[in-house]
A and B are shown apart, each in its own frame.
Chain A
Amino acid sequence: MEDLKIIELFYERSEQAITELANKYGTICKKVANNILNNGQDAEECLNDAYLGAWNTIPPQKPNPLLTYICRIVRNLAIKKYHVNTAAKRNSIYDIALDELENCFPSADTVEAEWEARETAEIIDRFLNSLDQDSRVMFVRRYWYSFSITELAELFHTSNHNVSVRLSRIRMKLRKHLIKEGVFL
């Protein structure tokens, strides 16, 4: 079903909207939640909360594209739940991906300025825009969707090693870009 039809169902307050949303985007949303939470039950709960979130916000929202809207809700909820759940144990793909990324953000220890998240995201947008599509997708799938290296290797028809090498190169480029832009955290 087209996104607009699904949104119409939300506007009509038809519960079929949730079913259609789940049919269309449930798989990728569940993967995002699961990659962050590393727990099927928590991911399922997170997904249901996200559908409820969509139900409560559409209307008045009319998201376009719907896919990123629902994925974003899922990601935010999953991260929130993750912080509640795992103060001590950290073992999800999200953790590993974040560890990788942390090293490429220059430290703010030596400078006073700290950047706002939104402002920094715009700088990362410009960086992403400078990449070829494959590299950009690989980066976003890894660090936004928290896909595992193996999942990326399957997607790109290549080896795990090759994915790791390419991600490492992208991170090095990002680090240079952030330093050039004066971003420190």
Chain B
Amino acid sequence: MRKEKISEIIGNINLKYIEEAAIYEGRKRRPRGNVWLKWSAAVASVAFIVFLWGVIFGRTYMVTLDNGDTIKFVKDKSAATDTEGKIEGISRSLTEEEIQQLFGNLPVKAYGLFDIENHQLFLLCGRIGDVELYVTTSDSLFGNTENRGYADASIIDGITVHGGYFYNRGENPEVVYKASFDIGNSAVCLKCTEEYENAESARNQTAEAVYALIKNGAINLEQIVK
């Protein structure tokens, strides 16, 4: 009787909500919000958002992976750039269990940014070995593939990978190797910075991290909640 009454009550809710639910087509993936903890994109995106435009100079380096595929790193004269705007969310370190859920036994350490509304993880920042790792489900963070990638892409196990490198010419000159790709619902960006003389090491580490992540499979960030 009580259940029947509850059913009757629910049956009497306002028609506008019934209609809204019927015509709803799916969750928007882009996180929204007003206040809460705000992150400047500069903090996170310096490392993972690279818009490489312009003419490509210099040599293209290649690394052959264990499966025989080759990843290309194309020289670009531009450096990393920040995006405008802010990323909003709630941050915390990810537990070992959560990292294992996402990356199996890969040597990843990371913290995450969670959607302020549904509390799902939408941005992960960390390291895989010595390589910086950024993963997001948000379309807005990396921009589209063309923007964040390089003209000359590689195919690794069926996944399109955009690899590149550039030099930071300062007091302590460095070389920065980067790679980005989409896997499952997530976009991944990797970055490895080394001194000039260790460029090969940076290149190899980046390539190894790309291959390890692709072998690991789809990264479903949304299974992790705040």
Contacts and interface: CB of A to CB of B under 8 A. Distances in A.
B60 interface: no
Interface size class of B (residues with CB under 8 A): 20 to 34
Contacts of B117: 132, 134
Most buried by A among B10, B21, B23, B220: B21
B220 A76 contact: no
A124 B12 CA distance: 9
B223 A79 contact: no
Interface in A160-185: 161-162, 165-166, 185
Contact of B14 (A98, A125, A158, A185): A125
Contacts of B13: 121, 124-125, 128, 140, 144
B20 A136 contact: yes
B95 to A, nearest CB: 16
Nearest to B137: A157
Interface residues of A, number: 43
A155 B3 contact: no
Interface of A: 28, 65, 67-68, 71-72, 75-76, 79, 83, 94, 98-99, 101-102, 105, 117-118, 120-121, 124-125, 128, 132-134, 136-137, 140-141, 143-145, 155-159, 161-162, 165-166, 185
Given A157-B26, A185-B2, 5 more contacts: A133-B20, A137-B24, A140-B17, A143-B10, A155-B26
